[in-house]
Amino acid sequence: MAMTPLLGRSSSLRTWSVSAVVATTSIVLWACQAPSASAQRIVEKIESRCPLGYVDMLNGKCSTLGMMTHTVQVIDGRSCPSGWLDVGGGYCRKQ
């Protein structure tokens, strides 16, 4: 005689496990988001050219192609703060 599994208990545990994995993954991804002045390999193309050290990817982004990582921040038409160097493209890079 074959035994059938208890669908109610098994499926509720499975649903809880999937929910826990999704919640944990969401928290980890949210915590790993880079702040605006952290090291970046890919930045948004703000002006007509990319910052020094970045290559135009022709999709509105500039990339170092994984070769290096720079700490950059957007300057929004202002001058760079002390300790930062204007690299063009609307960005400053930490010296």
Q: Classify residue 60 as left (phi > 0), alpha (psi -120 to 50) or beta.
A: left
**pLDDT tens across 30-61, in order?**
333 333 457 899 999 999 999 999 999 999 99
Instruction: Express as a percent the part of the chain with pLDDT over 90.
Output: 51
Q: How much is the pTM? A: 0.57
User: Whole-angstrom Cα distance, residue 48 to residue 55?
Assistant: 12
